[in-house]
Chain A
Amino acid sequence: MRYIFKFPDIGEGIAEGKILTWYVKKGQAIKAGDPLVKMETDKVVTDIPSPREGVIAAVFGSEGEVINVGDPLVEIEIEGVEGEAAQEVAAEAAETRKHLTEEPIDEKGFGVVGTLEVAGDSAYLPAGEEGRPAPAAPAEAPLKKSLATPVARAMAKDMGIDIDRVPGTGPGARVLKKDIASYYENIQKGKGKPKGEAAPPVSPVEYQPLSQIRKTIAKNMTRSKHNAAHMTVFEEVEVSALVRLRTDYKEKFAKEGLKFSYMPFIIKAAAEGLKSHPVLNSELDLENDRMIYKKNYNINIAVDTAEGLVVPVVRDADRLSIREITIKIAEIAEKARERKLTLEDMKDGTFTVTNYGAIAGTYGVPVINYPQAAILGIGRILKEPVVKNDEIVVGHVLPLSLSVDHRIVDGGDAARFLLRVKELLSDPVSLLLV
């Protein structure tokens, strides 16, 4: 029997995804669990495994194409399953899908720095089908079929063109012979020019399609700026003690292959600060006229990648040691750069730390990772003259920028939180004792 496997709802309201790489082709035998395709959604890049063992009968969609949840991905020929058994398989597929859609949806707060929220939010993206009863998946969902003339079909097949992608110019958008010819010509043109041809004039602008990540960042930034009343407080912390501590233990960590940075201390300090100032670890739920105070301290950290910023999460930072946070950061940073982050790595954040100072910059005005209540920006630590015991000495100054949603966080709360963070960072040993 033939079984059409559709792009599943991989959770969190993802509505569409871009096909990056096909791992399988027509005629290839596969086992259940074998990766079929690498997909980029607005949140993650992930492999979609095959739900069944069989032979690939057809592959739908080409690399680079954006498809919706529910669109067919592959058709699998499952050997030896006929009749009733075939129906069972179909029912099973429907069941699986149902499970996926019935999972509770909790996608508050992960995302990209300063923006960040969740891509699947129904206000911005098509809602998909979550929450609705799963339709009985038809075993053979017909593909959208183009109207085309017989010769056009024969040509498309011959040239390896998916005729459903060719815009038709005939009556009723029928695809004609000439449409295939011009489509083919365009493809050929796109494959580079023969050598010796004069270089085309340089255009003053270049157009590039938006990546899913960039689309999400754009939407989320706008949403945050539109909804939250941003207010930013700046503070300086003298962190000579922290610098000393790091210098002392850097080597030791390096021996274990770990990069010992200031980030774990800042994350830990932030988590502690949040514990005593819960309003910064909260969310405004206007729809229900209430506040949501979060009892876990999941700190998003902004990671700069080639495609754009992503914001994986360090879960329960309050309960992790500095060493554990160090390991966790190394792990997610690497995943982020290799684009292997999963939804699990990104969801449920409650507060965000962005460390632009790692590159350059002292102060910034970070944009809240909406709907979180606040975001802490870390500037570059600079050696500066500071006054200690009425004497001017060389100190290490860490600039902090805290943006809060002023609708729920008052100036006093913000300042008190900053003060607490400042205390903890200027006396790092206290962080080890909490």
Chain B
Amino acid sequence: MAFDLIIIGSGPAGYVAAIRAGQVGLKTAIIEKSKIGGMCLNWGCIPTKALLESAKKLEAVKGAAAFGIDGIDKDKLTFNWPTALKRSDRIVKRLTKGVEFLLKKNGVEIIAGDAEITSQTSVTVDNRLLETKYIMIASGSRPEPPGYTLPKGMTIGIGYLLQLEQLPEKPSVLGSGPHAVELAQFFKMAGKDVKMLVPGSEEDFLPGMDPYLVDFVKKTFKKSKIDILFFSTLEGGSGGGLSVDGTEVACDGLINALGRKAVIPSSRIEFELEDGFLKVDDFLRTNYENIYAVGDVNGRSYLAHAASAQGLHAVNVIGGFKEPFDDTRVPLNMYTSPEIASVGFSEPEVEELGYSYKVTEFPLTANGKALIEGHTEGLVRIISEKKYGEVLGVQIVAEHATDMIAEAALVLRLEGTVFDVANTIHAHPTVSEIFMEAGFAAFDQPIHK
């Protein structure tokens, strides 16, 4: 029985593509060797954010007295890791069940097992040969091993973290990206004595992110007393902890949030690679015209929503769509406290592209809703081009920045201008009003300043 499309991997790239393919009438199969939903649903975005939310709740309850809540004994407040984990599990189960249901509803055959690509038009799963017109590789990535000589049992992968019965008391988070920052903050909020270990120097911290936001994160860490250690050598310390550039650092668990590497399914045909990832063209095709690679495995992004967008795009290309995939407008979220989100170009990027631009910002300090919620730390920055006022990039720091960024993403997608932002009526009281104000600031005077 021949398929139109076989998708390898059921993460946010694969399962979204599969549902779409089913919707448009392609006879589709999806092969998963582990759990439906992939990294994102099972070990990544969803459980980590669920646990982060538990930690944030703890913070919120600690500060609840100021809101008029009596009866809170701060000394008795502790973080119950097993309960938080159970809650996270429930969320994950519910979501993965939902995905499974949607796949079936759209006629996608779910096949459990290890896939091997046996030819340009065939895949085997446990000796079952499947023939197909198109193949989509969405097998994702896994954390790169740290590559340092460390005491046995010291290193904890993110997936393994979720299986721990209790959290380390003095964790260190190894990495330089958004996930590492989130994890470090998580441990801090959960009451742990956490350190962040960043290989290299200051410039290697949060690569690709606007310097303004990087500075903001550094300041936040300083305020909440999270040390960031930039290092060149890392090894086991004499006291059972770590030795970072020769200095002893107490540590009972090193969370590996370093770079990731592609998980490439076994194959009897050869694929072209680039830095260990499957090389794709602008239409997300590998060196075989009918074989696509979407999501982490092609190395273009590690973000779940980018992976889903790629999956959808690839299905559209199969259906005859002729536009290249555009990943300049992928929002980047950090579930820190406050949250940080950005979309579009950063300031160094617009400078390099030669735009004549301006940056306008508006703080949360005078925003009614922010005051009400007690989260006045934050701001909106709009990078706009001067001639037509086109919005090129938006950065938001706010308690709900990760939700607010959608408005900015839409403005960018529609090639909107600061005039559109300013003249869009924003409801009051909302935190999003600051977006409108920053729009006004770009060509006129903001109202509440």
Contact = CB atoms under 8 A, between A and B. Distances in A.
7 contacts: A149-B416, A150-B420, A154-B388, A154-B389, A155-B388, A158-B387, A177-B415
Contacts, number: 28
B437 interface: no
B390 interface: yes
A151 interface: yes
A154 B387 CA distance: 9
A74 interface: no
B435 to A, nearest CB: 16
A152 interface: yes
Interface in A143-196: 149-152, 154-155, 158, 169, 176-177
Interface residues of B, number: 11
Given A150-B420, A158-B388, A177-B415, 11 more contacts: A149-B414, A149-B415, A149-B416, A150-B414, A150-B415, A150-B416, A150-B419, A151-B417, A154-B390, A154-B417, A176-B415
Interface in B370-422: 387-390, 414-417, 419-420
Contacts of A151: 388-390, 415-417
A394 to B, nearest CB: 76
Tell me the dominant secondary structure on chain B's binding face.
loop
Contacts of B323: 169
B323, B389, B390, B420: residue with the most chain A Cβ atoms closer than 10 Å: B390
Interface string A95-127: 000000000000000000000000000000000
B137 to A, nearest CB: 28
Interface residues of A, number: 10
A154 B388 CA distance: 6
Contacts of B389: 151, 154
Contacts of A152: 415
Contacts of A158: 387-388
A210 to B, nearest CB: 32
Q: 7 closest Cβ contacts across the A-B interface?
A: A149-B415, A154-B388, A151-B415, A151-B390, A150-B417, A151-B388, A150-B416
Nearest to A148: B415
B442 to A, nearest CB: 13
A155 B323 CA distance: 22
Interface in B415-446: 415-417, 419-420
A158 B417 CA distance: 15
A152 B420 CA distance: 13
B312 to A, nearest CB: 13
B233 to A, nearest CB: 49
Contacts of A154: 388-390, 417
A176 B414 CA distance: 8
Interface in A327-350: none
Nearest to B413: A149
Nearest to B417: A150
Q: Find the residue from A150, A155, A169 having the highest chain B CB count within 10 A.
A: A150
Contacts of A176: 415
Contacts of B414: 149-150
Contacts of A155: 388
Contacts of B387: 158
Nearest to A149: B415
A152 B390 CA distance: 10
Nearest to B322: A169
Contacts of B419: 150
A149 B391 CA distance: 12
Nearest to B419: A150
Contacts of A149: 414-416
A390 B417 CA distance: 97
* Residue among A151, A154, A176 with the highest chain B CB neighbour number at 10 A: A151
Interface centre among B387, B388, B415, B417 (most CB of A within 10 A): B415
Contacts of B417: 150-151, 154
Contacts of B420: 150
A177 B389 CA distance: 13
Interface string B304-323: 00000000000000000001
A5 B416 CA distance: 34
A168 to B, nearest CB: 12
B387, B388, B420: most-surrounded residue (chain A CB, <10 A):
B388
Contacts of B416: 149-151
Nearest to A155: B388
A268 B390 CA distance: 73
Nearest to A174: B414
A172 to B, nearest CB: 12
